[in-house]
Structure 1
Amino acid sequence: MKVLKDILYRVSMEAVVGKTSVHINAVQFDSRKVEFNDVFVAVRGTLSDGHEYITKAVNQGALAIICEVLPKDIVDGITYVQVENSQKALAFMAANYYDNPSANLKLVGITGTNGKTTIATLLYHLFTKAGYKVGLLSTVTVQIAEATYPTTHTTPDSLTINSYLKKMNEEGVEYCFMEVSSHGIAQDRTTALEFAGGIFTNLSHDHLDYHKTFAEYRDVKKSFFDQLPAAAFALVNADDKNGEVMLQNTKAKKYTYALKSYADYTAQILENQFSGLLLKVNGHDLWSKLIGNFNAYNILAIYATGELLGLETQENLRFISELNSVSGRFQYVISKQKITAIVDYAHTPDALKNVLETINSIRTKNEELITVVGCGGDRDKTKRPIMGHIASELSTRVIFTSDNPRTEDPEKILEEVEKGVEPQNFKKTMTVVNRRQAIKTACQLAQPNDIILIAGKGHETYQEINGVRSDFDDLKIVTGFLSQLEK
């Protein structure tokens, strides 16, 4: 049991009705989870408003209500606290309830459009190899030392984040690497966390269904760096023009990395092959199993972070060279017929362009590059024709197909994707709505030495259609079809 006033530490309160000296059991923002003596935080969400469930929460036993607008009917014996922003209040309350666990480890947040999962995951493996107990909060998984937990959001809600960080404290975790999404920042899920560092990867077209404008999207990312403390580090990609913007108002120590610009951490690509990359990083040779220019940036960010967190240089280089690719990020299989199939999460224009340019820089041009790609439903529609343009411009053949249509008509999504195809590229495209059939078609079209790229879903092991999730793993499916061709 916790005292309410202690949980309200640092929360900006506008009015209090009742006592804050009461003991509460747990903090909840989902009325369905409220039990006896809990405190219910009424949060305004994108789909529903928690204020509509205050009465329900009280009826289920809530002892205290945190809200932006006090209800008309005040129930005797219930404490009501009016705040300016319920999301922000929830963040501080979550941190207080779990005894501010982020203060007891070195928490590093990674934000940007592309590269977050790869950098966070590889940093987890890097520091694990270096002998530390490490935590990971990512799109793909949550890791607490050796224990694995499922995940549903890039950045979980603040209660979930702090509960995981508390478990990390209990397990003796020293470092935690965390993906920080623009949604998570905008919804104050990371407010009240104490970060030891922040990494900015890049900024390109994404999430404009939520943020409306690119400037708003950029400024949300920037606010994460604005809030970093002076003791933290801020590491940004200097080759992205927005990197400088991220550093404008931060109190943190400023560092940069780049392949093309002057920076604190630089790298040259000496070799780029399907077997990996040979880089010269700050004067040191480094071989990595990762592939492509975009991974050169990721490796550089990982190297810089390792240095900033105190890893010895040669140890840092050695462990990075041992790291494997992340699930769903440029994962590939080669069939007995020498057909290469690559599965990648590329679901933004910039990510798709990076992957296709990487493949084209490695291939001999004597083989076909067959791309299978689509766009998710109920998400940013403006990127769809851009994705269609990039895929058709940089591939020799393209099969447009469903991603996760969600509640949208998949055929209409694909019509919007096709609008980006230039007339001269029409002949190299086809549309196969069923994703499994599209992958099968790509395998049937492929000849020895050809390359198949299946983009958009990467690590996801499901496909969502009309609210129903079905098992669907791009890598397993393409591997199965390729093996059938060998019989």
Structure 2
Amino acid sequence: MRAKELLLKAGYQIEEDFEVHEIQMDSRLIEPNDIFIALKGANTDGHDYIAQALEAGAKLVMSEREVPGYRTVVMEDGYKTLGKLAYYFYGEPTKDMEVIGVTGTNGKTTTTTLLYQSLCHAGRRVGLIGTNGLYYPEGSFPTSNTTPDGLLLMRYFKFFKEHDIHTVIMEVSSHALVLGRVDYVDFQYAVFTNLTQDHLDFHKDMEDYFNAKKMLFTDLNENAYAILNADDGTFGRLEKATQAKVVSYGVEHGQYQATQVHLNMYETSFEVAGMKISSDLLSIANVYNMLAVFATLRCMGYSLEKASELMHHLTHINGRLEKVYNQDFVAIVDYAHSPDSVRNILTFLAELKENRVIAIVGCGGDRDKSKRPKMARVACELADYAILTSDNPRTERPEAILEDMCEGLQSTNYCVIVDRKEAIGQAVKMARKGDIIAVLGKGHEDYQIIGTTKRHFSDKEEILKAIKGE
């Protein structure tokens, strides 16, 4: 595409014209005739790399501000402009796509993955974009964010179209909504899981966080479906905020309401709309996730019988209440990293335990500090014993994060072990017959970020090593 034509579509005019090779945000990837988009990020500022981009052959630089010594096209809103440029450069790849977006604090990854499994079993060619990566019928590859930036997102949609995929399921984060990453995605179905405290390092308060999530539903048209959790405190406000057709689900309320709910360490079962559902997905949280899937399948036109049949193909999600060891004691890993998600997991395990629940909990660095003492309190309140340790400390001192967690903590049923590997080893040493070890916070992740370095680390691997005495 010619540069003049591309920028005109995004609302900008330039004098020099050229054939655009690619759009890049990373100066290290620049090739001749590329457009370099300089954006200020959380850790790096693209404006500092304009010289490198030009040296590598960038033909045009677009920036968020004027940069002395360089001639750039200054954007009004960098992230939104990026999304618009990518949309047109990659040939409007979201056009005519059937897109299902899932947002909420907890349950996005599980709900999107279960929808992906269901629709694949229904014989559809489906794509999935989320925390665990990008998936399509022929394979998968990792992604770096829950919802990719506008540039990557359009590349992924172009990739799907090239692979004859016209239904896409994606996790939609609050960050993505605020930063305009999904401005050029037309959602036909939007699912809301729940709202609890998280990301207050990015949002100024819970109301701001809610308003970010709400954007997914206010942008829906009257032919779309808003699939809402009727048991969540946000239900009434979201129902009023959208012009889409509202379909609700829940355990206490909802058009698709679960009854006859039975939970244990081996199986979850319930009835919905006269259909019996059973699965090896554990906990009440997964009842809600499965209800969201069932309601979405119904909105997509599947009969009660077909939706129920598809639900029986669901399998556990990597790093979500995943049993790593199940012999004399049980060891599980889970991605729970907010006070509410930790509470949900430990409440479920406390009801099923034969002996004790030993919880390992940490908090990420450079993230919402206000949830740290809350997570420690929840762990001590609901576990028989809690080991407070490091998660991804990033650029903060692990000891400082743990001091925040222990602030005001009155309980005595805990210890602090800074090293996560040692913490897991201690839990295994303590474990007796009938105990449940719950290693929370990282789930599927196979890395730990210390400083700015990402090193290999897997909770699952460390549990098995500790059991073997390695």
Do Structure 1 and Structure 2 share a fold, with TM-score over 0.5? yes
Given the alignment of the two structures, is residue 460 of structure 1 paired with residue 457 of structure 2, yes or no?
A: no
State the shift of 1:369 in Å: 0.8
Instruction: Name the counterpart of 1:346.
Output: 336
Among candidates 21, 26, 29, match of residue 25 of structure 1: 21
Map 1:393-408 → 2, pairs under 5 A: 393-408=381-396
Given the alignment of the two structures, is residue 207 of structure 1 paired with residue 204 of structure 2, yes or no?
A: no
Given the alignment of the two structures, is residue 267 of structure 1 paired with residue 267 of structure 2, yes or no?
A: no
AA aligned to 1:163 is: R
Hey, what's the Cα distance between the residues in 1 that align with 2:388 and 2:180? Answer: 37
Given the alignment of the two structures, is residue 11 of structure 1 paired with residue 7 of structure 2, yes or no?
A: no
State the shift of 1:64 in Å: 2.9
SS of the counterpart of 1:23? coil
Instruction: Name the counterpart of 2:35.
Output: 39
State the shift of 1:236 in Å: 1.4
Hey, what's the Cα distance between the residues in 1 that align with 2:167 and 2:315? Answer: 20
Deviates more, 1:263-272 or 1:130-139: 263-272
AA aligned to 1:152 is: S
Given the alignment of the two structures, is residue 360 of structure 1 paired with residue 356 of structure 2, yes or no?
A: no
State the shift of 1:173 in Å: 1.2
Instruction: Name the counterpart of 2:375.
Output: 387
State the shift of 1:484 in Å: 4.6
Instruction: Name the counterpart of 1:61.
Output: 57
CA contact (8 A) 2:275 2:304 kept: no
State the shift of 1:73 in Å: 5.5
Hey, what's the Cα distance between the residues in 1 that align with 2:361 and 2:394? Answer: 16
State the shift of 1:52 in Å: 4.4
Hey, what's the Cα distance between the residues in 2 that align with 1:269 and 1:383? Answer: 34
Map 1:214-253 → 2, pairs under 5 A: 214-253=206-245
Among candidates 476, 482, 485, match of residue 461 of structure 2: 476
Hey, what's the Cα distance between the residues in 2 that align with 1:372 and 1:334? Answer: 15
Instruction: Name the counterpart of 1:95.
Output: 87
The structure-2 alpha-carbon separation of the partners of 1:51 and 1:250, relative to structure 1 and needing over 3 Å to count, comes to farther
Instruction: Name the counterpart of 1:324.
Output: 315
SS of the counterpart of 1:254? strand
Aligned residues: 470
Instruction: Name the counterpart of 1:122.
Output: 114
Q: Which runs of 5+ in 2 are unaligned?
A: none
Summarize deviations over 1:375-425 as a string: whole Å, max 9, x none.
Answer: 111111110000010000001111111111112111221121122533xx2
Hey, what's the Cα distance between the residues in 2 that align with 1:247 and 1:82? Answer: 39
SS of the counterpart of 1:299? helix
Instruction: Name the counterpart of 2:404.
Output: 416
The structure-2 alpha-carbon separation of the partners of 1:121 and 1:6, relative to structure 1 and needing over 3 Å to count, comes to farther
The structure-2 alpha-carbon separation of the partners of 1:303 and 1:49, relative to structure 1 and needing over 3 Å to count, comes to same
Hey, what's the Cα distance between the residues in 2 that align with 1:74 and 1:413? Answer: 41
Hey, what's the Cα distance between the residues in 2 that align with 1:39 and 1:60? Answer: 11
State the shift of 1:371 in Å: 0.7
Among candidates 267, 281, 298, match of residue 289 of structure 2: 298
Instruction: Name the counterpart of 2:158.
Output: 166
Given the alignment of the two structures, is residue 50 of structure 1 paired with residue 49 of structure 2, yes or no?
A: no
Summarize deviations over 1:348-394 as a string: whole Å, max 9, x none.
Answer: 0010000011112223xx50111111111111111000001000000
Summarize deviations over 1:126-173 as a string: whole Å, max 9, x none.
Answer: 111111111111111211222111111111111111111111111111
Given the alignment of the two structures, is residue 137 of structure 1 paired with residue 129 of structure 2, yes or no?
A: yes
State the shift of 1:54 in Å: 4.1
Deviates more, 1:456-465 or 1:3-12: 3-12
After TM superposition, the score normalised by the length of structure 2 is 0.94
Hey, what's the Cα distance between the residues in 2 that align with 1:212 and 1:470? Answer: 31
Hey, what's the Cα distance between the residues in 2 that align with 1:472 and 1:89? Answer: 37
SS of the counterpart of 2:95? helix
Hey, what's the Cα distance between the residues in 2 that align with 1:301 and 1:91? Answer: 29
Hey, what's the Cα distance between the residues in 1 that align with 2:192 and 2:14? Answer: 43
State the shift of 1:229 in Å: 3.1
Hey, what's the Cα distance between the residues in 2 that align with 1:60 and 1:229? Answer: 44
The structure-2 alpha-carbon separation of the partners of 1:217 and 1:389, relative to structure 1 and needing over 3 Å to count, comes to same
Hey, what's the Cα distance between the residues in 1 that align with 2:61 and 2:423? Answer: 51
State the shift of 1:113 in Å: 0.7
SS of the counterpart of 1:417? helix
AA aligned to 2:379 is: A
AA aligned to 1:209 is: D
Hey, what's the Cα distance between the residues in 2 that align with 1:442 and 1:208? Answer: 31
State the shift of 1:82 in Å: 4.1
Query: What's the RMSD between the two structures over aligned residues?
Result: 2.0
State the shift of 1:53 in Å: 4.0
CA contact (8 A) 1:346 1:352 kept: yes
CA contact (8 A) 1:87 1:187 kept: yes
AA aligned to 1:473 is: S
Q: Identical aligned pairs, as a percentage? A: 36
SS of the counterpart of 1:248? helix
AA aligned to 1:220 is: A
The structure-2 alpha-carbon separation of the partners of 1:160 and 1:392, relative to structure 1 and needing over 3 Å to count, comes to same
Hey, what's the Cα distance between the residues in 1 that align with 2:144 and 2:107? Answer: 18
SS of the counterpart of 1:172? coil
State the shift of 1:312 in Å: 2.9
State the shift of 1:58 in Å: 3.6
Given the alignment of the two structures, is residue 314 of structure 1 paired with residue 302 of structure 2, yes or no?
A: no
Hey, what's the Cα distance between the residues in 1 that align with 2:264 and 2:122? Answer: 27
Hey, what's the Cα distance between the residues in 1 that align with 2:8 and 2:247? Answer: 33
CA contact (8 A) 2:18 2:33 kept: no
The structure-2 alpha-carbon separation of the partners of 1:12 and 1:401, relative to structure 1 and needing over 3 Å to count, comes to same
Summarize deviations over 1:242-266 as a string: whole Å, max 9, x none.
Answer: 23333433332222211112x2221
AA aligned to 2:332 is: I
CA contact (8 A) 1:367 1:450 kept: yes
AA aligned to 1:469 is: K
Given the alignment of the two structures, is residue 156 of structure 1 paired with residue 152 of structure 2, yes or no?
A: no
Deviates more, 1:326-335 or 1:56-65: 56-65
AA aligned to 1:470 is: R
CA contact (8 A) 1:388 1:419 kept: no
Deviates more, 1:217-226 or 1:117-126: 217-226
